Structure 1
Amino acid sequence: MSASSIDAFVATTDPRSMAHLRTLVDDVLGLLAEAGSGRTGPVPTGGPAAARAYADDVLAEPLLPTAGGKPDDALRQLVEAYATWAVDVSHPATVARMQCPPATVAVAADLVVTALNQSMHAWEAGPFAVELERRLIADLAGLVGYGPNAGGTVTAGGSISNIMAMLIARDEAYARRFGRSAFHTGVAASGVRPVVLCTETVHFSVDRGASIAGIGSDGIIRVPADELGRMLPAEADRVLRELPADLLPVMLFVCAGSTDFGWVDPLPAIAEVARRHGVWLHADAAYGGGALFSDRLRPLFDGIAEADSVTLDLHKFGWVPASAGLFLTRDAAALDHLAAQQTSLNAADDVAEGFIGRYGSSIQATRRCDALKIAVTLRGSGRQGIGAMVEACHELSRFGAARVAREPRLELAAEPVLSTVLFRYLPERETDLDEFNSTLRRRLMRNGQAMLARVILPRPGGGKAVWLKLMLLNPATEPGQLDQVIDDVLAAGALLEAAAAS
């Protein structure tokens, strides 16, 4: 590249570069508006085959050519294609995944974060970014109910937060038992095997975290639960009392708002069990934590401040674009396990002078400042504003559940706790319900009518069953629009029944 082409390529705060960026942003926004105006549903029709064929056509030329073309043209071509086959997360029929329609101010803040390219790992990589995240963590720790000694970090999401919790809990347990963290010794040197206690229906990141932490999936002990899937405190106490001496309990992992039903484990009683046995208590509130903003729903989470650590995701109930996860600890000193490795990023002389980055609070080094988009959203809406949106989604779920309950061809799994509605279609003729509902879901997605989730849950008498799920995270969705989604489910089910009968 010549010097002039490099100047045009690299984003700077120079007025010419800013003018160029403004032109590109205007072009991109125009492409997004054009793609949105041509939609008839949450995604184009045709399913995976159509999406693959479209990509084959648009991406026929290599993404890494020997000689590049014009960067502006590459941007427009790929953004147009990206937007065309993107799922419209603001569409009322996009009810499959925990993808909220992001706040406009958060989207704008994300542009600033990308343009200035600060990093959180060292003070000199982003001075204000570092201070902003520290204060954001303090405010959200206060929302949970933690005191001034709390700590934490912004993460890439709930899975990473849960894995961090497991790593810290492991090191805390080893330090208490052996006087030295497993960060240094590893888990094999102690002669005991670490184990984690949780119910059957916790998030899949528990298994992944157990693998990463050296515990292994065989080191996960499932605690019996009640009929709703909530951990039974007495059973947790019994399991801990009966553990053999060669097993070291490192964590009680509880759910504060399950992704399927929204239920919350009995936090106060489990906290007592954890304290009695000296076991780290972690509460996964990645989805449910948004209810902490709501005066009406917050009582469901009484006792969450008794947990040693908490996971939150504000790219779910928070209306912040991904990633916007948070890992919070009741005592910031617990994060010292992550900072045990001394590097130039946490050198003692820099720390003594206040040049302290965020490397020691995270399992990442280079990390973008996701705190900015979270901060502008929270400051702009306030706790009451976010709480009102959470409550709107909750009311929408209650409306949807009532509609499902009135339909003879639909079966409601349970009354919603937060903002999920689980149900399934009941064909008139006897058939395999799991296969029928799985096919029904794919048909709706292939036709571009609705993006529904599918969950597989235990049957009361044994085995597992397929249910469809409406994940309602758009407070702007009207009841009539949700009615239309359910109408489309009923119509598609009737067509499947007719096809099977012919």
Structure 2
Amino acid sequence: MNTPQYKHIFYEGNSSEYSKAIQLASESVVRFLEKNKKPFSGVTPAQLRAVMAPIDLNAPLPDYASLLEEVEKLYSDHAIAFHLPQYIAHLNCPVVIPAIAAEVLITAINSSLDTWDQSAGGTLIEQRMITWTCNEIGYDSNGDGVFTSGGTQSNLMGLLLARDHYAKEYLRYNIKQKGLPAESSRFRIFVSEMGHFSIKKNAALLGLGEQSVVAIPSDGYRMNTTLLEEAIQSELEEGNIPIAIVATAGTTDFGNIDPLQQIGQIAAKYRLWFHVDAAYGCGLLLSSRYRHLLNGIEMADSVTTDYHKSFFQPVSSSAFLVKHTRSLDLLKHHADYLNPKEHDEDGLPNQVNKSIQTTRRFDALKLWFTLRLMGKQQLGNYIETIIDTSAAVADMIQQDVDFDLLSFSDISALVFRYYPERLDEESVCAVNQYIKKELFKEGAALVAGTRINGSFYLKFTLLNPLTTTEDVAKILQIIKDHGADYLKHHKQALSKTREIA
């Protein structure tokens, strides 16, 4: 059957149509690389809405060329170019070409990784990628896991298992069957004040409320373990029930790593679930020089990894790992039409038994392509280059009298501010907010911003091995130029400036 009404369906009769579409899409990608010479065009939402408004979605375009021309005007010409060295804002890495090639197979073949009868070899490839990651973490043959959509989902799974494990083991109560027990209002989860926002968000989704999350003060922007143990004891004295500790291996703002070994020991002492959020820091698993920074991660009951942050993979590519495969039984649900119990008896590997998702993309193939073609060492070299460049940039910022560096990083996130003279705090925040906005409007370089103890700071996140200290030096000069421009034109707004000593 090869009739016009079916010309766009992916099947053997339309192989030439497929080849043509993929070729034109590839050419569009090349144009994106060639045309975009700065991270952002500076387009505003109002400008793009005006371009999009006349489009009639019920009037199809005549061909792929017209379609791609439209999409380039709406999207590609303005998409944030994470691959450029001038992009050092958020946790977005450039991606490697083998992983992009894998995306072509993933999308076209369109396997769903929930059951064996929908994925076959894809299931085994995902399981091998999970086993490989577990080995790198330091788990034994009992380690297991599943690919996820990202760190927030993986952290959700970690807290879910912590909650249900505690109820099952110590309350002899099955939350999956009966819902939350009366004691759940007293469950407590401990995380650094620098931990990811998803911990509170997920605690709320799990019915524990944000009040269940106890923020532990940091020391050098890493969890203070003395205060952690004091907090656990305090909650016990108040009649509350500690169930888990979440350590962060790579905080979003500072790229610092909590003392994993000490936290693991405290978790074992109080019989708490130990989860490590290594969404950012998982790239250290690749490095022979910096792997020691993750020592203690092997003590964790569960771990979050984001390959799309530190393994140079396209979004999405993440995983949730557990030390003991039996922990994942807390997630298992049988459906007669999908994964009946006899599948377990027949030894059929249904990944849906380990996941809170049903339909899932075959994201593991991207990592398989990458490791099989490039190898761990080359990826590790990228990570080491990023860390070394970040350390050099930190020294540059610290030595420049116009900047105030807040902290050095274990990985590659640097928090600092433009601070050329002794301004009052309000004015310092104002000038740095101005710089951040002007950089985004201009688009020549993109940096992030954050608030620490109420004050506004700029932030570099370096995740591109192509970014050099020379590139960053130019960005620092652009920051200075915008700062000087603000000071020149806002003298009245700076009336509170303190006298220079």
**Matched position secondary structure for 1:360:** helix
Structure 2 residue 365 is the aligned partner of structure 1 residue 365: no
CA distance in 1, matches of 2:8, 2:293: 51
CA distance in 1, matches of 2:347, 2:2: 38
1:295-444 mapped onto 2 (5 Å cutoff): 295-340=288-333, 342-428=335-421, 430-431=423-424, 432-444=427-439
Q: Deviations over 1:429-465 (max 9, x none)?
A: 635111211111110110112111111112xxxxx22
* 2:111–2:119 contact (8 Å) kept in structure 1: yes
Residue 44 and residue 487 in structure 1: after superposition, are their counterparts in 2 closer, same or farther (change >3 A)?
same
CA distance in 1, matches of 2:440, 2:107: 33
The one of 432, 457, 469 equivalent to 1:479 is 469
Hey, what does 1:32 align to over in structure 2?
29
CA distance in 2, matches of 1:348, 1:38: 54
Give the % identical residues: 28
* 1:268–1:303 contact (8 Å) kept in structure 2: yes
**Matched position secondary structure for 2:243:** strand
* 2:401–2:420 contact (8 Å) kept in structure 1: no
> Quick one: which amino acid aligns to residue 163 of structure 2?
R
CA distance in 1, matches of 2:363, 2:32: 27
CA distance in 1, matches of 2:100, 2:41: 24
* 2:334–2:340 contact (8 Å) kept in structure 1: no
Q: Which runs of 4+ in 1 moved over 6 A?
A: none
Q: CA deviation at 1:189?
A: 4.2
**Matched position secondary structure for 2:310:** coil
Q: Deviations over 1:227-257 (max 9, x none)?
A: x132232332233233157522221111112
Q: Deviations over 1:331-359 (max 9, x none)?
A: 01101111045553321212222333211
* 2:414–2:461 contact (8 Å) kept in structure 1: yes
CA distance in 1, matches of 2:288, 2:109: 37
Q: CA deviation at 1:116?
A: 0.5
Hey, what does 2:105 align to over in structure 1?
112
Residue 353 and residue 245 in structure 1: after superposition, are their counterparts in 2 closer, same or farther (change >3 A)?
farther
Q: Deviations over 1:57-104 (max 9, x none)?
A: 1452133x1x53446356414431321110111111111111111101
Hey, what does 1:461 align to over in structure 2?
none
The one of 211, 214, 221 equivalent to 1:218 is 211
* 1:187–1:193 contact (8 Å) kept in structure 2: no
Q: CA deviation at 1:312?
A: 0.7
CA distance in 1, matches of 2:175, 2:227: 28
Q: Deviations over 1:215-234 (max 9, x none)?
A: 110111123332x1322323
Residue 199 and residue 9 in structure 1: after superposition, are their counterparts in 2 closer, same or farther (change >3 A)?
same
Q: CA deviation at 1:208?
A: 0.9
1:35-50 mapped onto 2 (5 Å cutoff): 35-46=32-43, 48=44
Structure 2 residue 252 is the aligned partner of structure 1 residue 256: no
Q: CA deviation at 1:194?
A: 1.8
Hey, what does 2:222 align to over in structure 1?
230
CA distance in 1, matches of 2:18, 2:64: 10
Q: Deviations over 1:440-493 (max 9, x none)?
A: 1110110112111111112xxxxx221111111111223222222122111121
CA distance in 1, matches of 2:336, 2:228: 40
* 2:24–2:65 contact (8 Å) kept in structure 1: no
* 2:185–2:212 contact (8 Å) kept in structure 1: no
> Quick one: which amino acid aligns to residue 233 of structure 1?
T
* 2:184–2:208 contact (8 Å) kept in structure 1: no
> Quick one: which amino acid aligns to residue 208 of structure 1?
K
CA distance in 2, matches of 1:328, 1:346: 22
CA distance in 1, matches of 2:36, 2:296: 45
Q: Deviations over 1:166-198 (max 9, x none)?
A: 001100000012223212222244575322111
Q: CA deviation at 1:141?
A: 0.5
Q: CA deviation at 1:133?
A: 0.6
Structure 2 residue 486 is the aligned partner of structure 1 residue 496: yes
| Greater CA drift, 351-360 or 276-285 | 351-360
* 1:427–1:497 contact (8 Å) kept in structure 2: no
CA distance in 2, matches of 1:8, 1:75: 16
The one of 446, 449, 457 equivalent to 2:444 is 449
TM-score, structure 2 as length reference: 0.93
Hey, what does 1:10 align to over in structure 2?
9
* 1:268–1:306 contact (8 Å) kept in structure 2: yes
CA distance in 1, matches of 2:110, 2:138: 33
**Matched position secondary structure for 2:319:** strand
* 1:346–1:356 contact (8 Å) kept in structure 2: no
Query: How many residues get paired?
Result: 488
| Structure 2: runs of 5 or more not aligned | 493-501
> Quick one: which amino acid aligns to residue 21 of structure 2?
L
| Greater CA drift, 334-343 or 387-396 | 334-343
CA distance in 2, matches of 1:87, 1:428: 33
Q: CA deviation at 1:31?
A: 2.2
The one of 80, 86, 89 equivalent to 2:72 is 80
The one of 111, 122, 127 equivalent to 2:120 is 127
Q: Deviations over 1:300-332 (max 9, x none)?
A: 111110011111111111100011111100001
